[in-house]
Amino acid sequence: MEFKFKLQKTPHSHPARAQKAQKPSSLVFVNVSNPKEAKDRATLQKVRRHVMKDIGRSRKSPLSYDSTATKSLYQVGQMPTYWGDVQVCVNVKRVFWAMEMVSGALLSITIVDPAIRDQQKITRRQDQPPSLKDIEQYTQSLGTVRKSILAESFVRQRAIMGTVICLAVFDMRVGNLGSWTMHMAGLQMILDLTGGVEALDPNSPLRQALFLADLFGSLKQDISPKFPLLHLQFESQATLSPYNQGLVESMEELQLPDQTPIVTILNSFAYASRVAALLNKQWAENPTDSSFVLPTCSLAHQTLSLQRWDLVTEEGMATTSQVSALAELVRIATVSLFCIIVSQTSGDLGYIIPRRDVPFQYLMSLIDDKFWDGKRELKLWLLVNQFCVEAAFPRIWYLEKIVDTMSQGDLCSWKDLMSCLREVVWIEGLAPLDMTQLRLYIDKRLS
């Protein structure tokens, strides 16, 4: 979009010769209380005497020049003026219209992170306290924000929230996750003044938009969502596979002092199994239907809310450390599964790229070969999931690990590998390009 401006040139003018001072005008008002008096002879005489006389005198006298006319061209004639109608994208017009609905104070409080306010140059020196004028302006801004939020118009409140949600989604899509965090904090402040999230209708588009904006931004960063779960009613009440049930039972037999890793593994399998049951049915019957979006995001929200393993403080005994590392691997793989789903259905690779930075190989190094006995299927499932989000040279490491694990388990074909993946949990049609490359490599190595 290009805005065109035209320099409005002003002809160079020469100052006029000094004029003699004129007497002050004796102009007076001629009052007419009745329309008929306007044609009265006495009234017309007053008009000619007190009005027309000065007007005629000003027309006969030479023009008096304004002082700005004597300035040079670069002082006056360089002001750009709008030139003609410019074709503006309709979406840009809508953005401008939406931003006009938000007061400047409200917009600033929602997009400025309190953590970086100290870095802003509010005063000349950062160690100086704000002046009285700054405090007064800040107080007035807060008052304006409160009036905007607590306005009597219900529509205006929702319009403000909708605008901030749109800004948050935009920043999330372009990768400005810092700005997304600021918008989420601003929305939390707005909701605190308007009754909280509970005051929103769960079925309203605004509540669903808030849920999706929160979920997608959290999914890109693998952090816990900031707003509560949007409760939905859907059918995918899938149970764990026999393999997963046996795996969880074997973990429980270890009688660990802390059962949190086992709970994480159990819930990760539960959420992955439910989304697999949902999508295997949905994609087979009607792949273009978007009704799976909210249920899938609801399961992703619960997955992101699972307990994470602290790599620094929770390293202890060998068995406990290995179970915790396995729990974190299962959680990471489940989050990656949801990222692949969202990326595959939306075409946005921004959900997959951050998954390449997870400490997958480090966590795998904490688990010895003996611990993997009876868990070969799970190991293959973890490796294949991470392979689907990797790119370029790191994929070579995963390809070799997958082939080595298959050889140790006497798996000699692509069909055997897919049988192992389905024993854990798998979505048919997931990451088709990546799975095709994996199949070509395995067929070549094992032929």
As a whole number of angstroms, the distance between CA 17 and CA 8 comes to: 27
Q: Consecutive sets of 10 residues in the chain, 447 residues long: mean pLDDT of each? A: 48 50 58 72 74 56 48 40 47 54 48 43 46 62 57 65 85 87 91 86 88 94 94 73 92 88 95 92 76 90 92 59 93 96 88 90 92 93 95 90 91 93 94 94 89
As a whole number of angstroms, the distance between CA 369 and CA 421 comes to: 20
User: For residues 340 and 389, is the Cβ–Cβ distance under 8 A?
Assistant: yes
User: What does pTM read for this prediction?
Assistant: 0.67
User: For residues 402 and 438, is the Cβ–Cβ distance under 8 A?
Assistant: yes
Give me the pLDDT at residue 149, please: 54
User: For residues 335 and 219, is the Cβ–Cβ distance under 8 A?
Assistant: yes
Give me the pLDDT at residue 121, please: 41
Domain chopping of the chain, boundaries: 5-76, 90-221, 242-446
Amino acid type, 343 = S
Q: Which two tokens stand for residue 435?
A: 């799975």
As a whole number of angstroms, the distance between CA 243 and CA 377 comes to: 9
Torsion of CA 417, 418, 421, 422, to 10 degrees: -140
What DSSP letter does each residue of 169-225 carry, written as one string?
A: HHHHHHT-HHHHHHHHHHHHHHHHHTT-GGGS-TTSHHHHHHHHHHHHHHHHHT---
Give me the pLDDT at residue 176, please: 86
Nearest of 362, 296, 377 to residue 332 by alpha carbon: 362
